[in-house]
Structure 1
Amino acid sequence: MDVTTSLASQSYAHARAAAAPNPQAAGPASSAFEDAASSFADTLKTGEDAAKSAMTGGADPHALVQALAQTELAVETAVTVRNKVVEAYQEILRMPV
């Protein structure tokens, strides 16, 4: 093995360790994102469960409409957040260096 290959492998090892995820260093922003994603998934699951029970005749129509409205609102919110993130990313790409 020549010197450049050894140097490259050492640099790769250092870079890999530096880029490894560290859950303790994530901070409150990551926790807030995890909470939002968990809440979104729970809302979708509630809507699906209400729809399943309505199909089998075990759910109140009012509860079904309410669950579907909450699900629709959650999806619209997620799409809006996604669009804002994409817009911000595109704005960063347009910045002159």
Structure 2
Amino acid sequence: MDMKAVSAIQRFTDARSASAIQSYQQARPATEPMPEEPTMIEAASKVAVDFAQTLAEGEETAKASMIGDADPHALVQALAQTELAVEAAVTVRNKVVEAYQEILRMPV
């Protein structure tokens, strides 16, 4: 056999094995167990912890800025993150109150 034929056969087998690998990778997720989704209580507690952590980080940055240890840009960024977190919490609270009022208006 000449070298061209050998290299052509090697390319064919490499392409075939690559195709088999890709097929396996596509079929593999179907055989793996689905990760458990967090419950509503777990998700809400994670959000509450993240919210409290954001507020605490903003407060620490503000304290550090007052004594001159923090960069002014870090203070502005921390305040913006805190503002965004509070706005999101207020929006969620408003939606919950609105849903509760809708439930109260339902005829029994």
Same fold (TM over 0.5): yes
Q: Does 1:48 align with 2:59?
A: yes
What does 1:10-89 align with in structure 2 at a 5 Å threshold?
28-89=39-100
What CA distance in whole angstroms lies between the structure 1 residues aligned with 2:103 and 2:40? 20
Work out whether 1:93 is the aligned partner of 2:104: yes
Runs of 4 or more above 4 Å deviation: none
Letter of the 1:57 counterpart: G
For this pair of structures, how many residues does the alignment match?
A: 71
TM superposition shift of 1:75: 0.2
Aligned-residue sequence identity (percent) comes to 70
In 2, the alpha carbon distance for the partners of 1:86 and 1:30 equals 18
Cα drift, residue 28 of structure 1: 1.1
Q: Which structure has the higher relative contact order (CA within 8 Å, separation 6+)?
A: 1
Q: Which has the larger radius of gyration?
A: 2
Q: How far off its partner does 1:56 sit? A: 0.3
Deviations, residues 72-91 of structure 1 (Å, cap 9, x unaligned): 00000000000000000000
Counterpart of 2:89, as a letter, is A
